[in-house]
Amino acid sequence: MFRDEWFRVAQQGFPVPLSEILTNSVYYPACGDDGDPVKYLGKQFQSFVYVDYGVGRDAVVQKLTQFTGYELEVSRELQRSDLVPNGWNPPPFARMHRIPDVVAQRIREPFAIWALYRRQPNYDDDHGPTGFSLLYIGGDGVATYHALFYTRQITSAVICLIQPGTGWGGNWTDFEAHDGPLAKLVLENPAGRPRLLLYGGWGDGDLYRTAPWPEYATQIAVLHGRLRLFSRDVDAAQ
């Protein structure tokens, strides 16, 4: 949950409250500059973790001020040590996998920016929350989930699979694949699974009527024709 005190933390350079930022967050790998999760989920969730290795820092900085109805009150560049202060040991699949050259050419220099927003006074609660947090990481969606969530035994509230760039899009793996590395980490996280999956893309809306991971079988909302929200089935283990 978003906290007003985060403004002071970011402005004065205090240690980043990373566990608070990650808890009950919306995790969006291969996000590009898509603001739909903030637009449609902002009333329920106020912490967003965006990750994409194909978007450069300068492009992200240019977009940070473009959330309708919100002022960017403070942004802070983060270092690797802010995110993994105790270091990070990649999982076996990350150490063994070789990224194809055609994909490697699309990878930008890694970076991390923590941005905090406050709602403009001429907008009310119908528009969205009074404030929200956006942690944007220039990195791989699988490795980042492992480093931030899995190793800390924290789960996000929502996982977003929206046009994740499989194939020609430049992703080294298929995020939608149930037997893929992202699904394996998210679904086998000791902390449990996200409650919700936000699924969609830019093609025929009929493609998104069923979630790609069968654990999320219940559609609870159609946010627009090509973006749907699914909840996970409740089971004893998760």
Q: Which of 59-63, 169-173, 214-218 has the lowest mean pLDDT?
A: 169-173
pLDDT of residue 172: 84
Q: Is residue 159 part of a domain?
A: yes
Q: Is residue 182 part of a domain?
A: no
Q: Is residue 61 part of a domain?
A: yes
pLDDT of residue 238: 44
Q: Is residue 53 part of a domain?
A: yes
Closest CA to 68 of 132, 111, 10: 132
In which residue are the tokens 């992202």 written?
182
pLDDT of residue 90: 80
Q: Kindly tell me if the per-residue pLDDT of 97 is higher than 60.
A: no
pLDDT of residue 96: 45
> Does this model's pTM top 0.85?
yes
Q: Is residue 220 part of a domain?
A: no
- 96: which DSSP letter? H
Query: Could you tell me the CA-to-CA distances from 157 to 70, 104, 193, 212 in Å, in that order?
Result: 23, 30, 8, 18
Q: Is residue 44 part of a domain?
A: yes
Higher pLDDT, 141 or 238: 141
pLDDT of residue 102: 54
Structurally, how many domains does the chain consist of?
Answer: 1
Residue 10's CB is within 10 A of a number of other CB atoms, namely 20
Specify the long-range contacts of residues 91-98, CB closer than 8 Å, at least 24 apart: 91/146, 91/181, 91/185, 93/181, 94/142, 94/143, 94/146, 94/181, 97/172
Q: Is residue 210 part of a domain?
A: no
pLDDT of residue 173: 87
pLDDT digits (tens, 9 = 90+) for 123-134: 999 999 999 999
In which residue are the tokens 């933390």 written?
9
Q: Kindly tell me if the per-residue pLDDT of 108 is higher than 90.
A: no
d(CA 54, CA 51): 9
Q: Which residues span the domain enclosing 16?
A: 5-176
pLDDT digits (tens, 9 = 90+) for 159-177: 999 998 776 557 888 999 9
- For the chain, give the percent of residues with pLDDT over 70: 91
pLDDT of residue 237: 40
Q: Is residue 10 part of a domain?
A: yes
Q: Kindly tell me if the per-residue pLDDT of 89 is higher than 90.
A: no
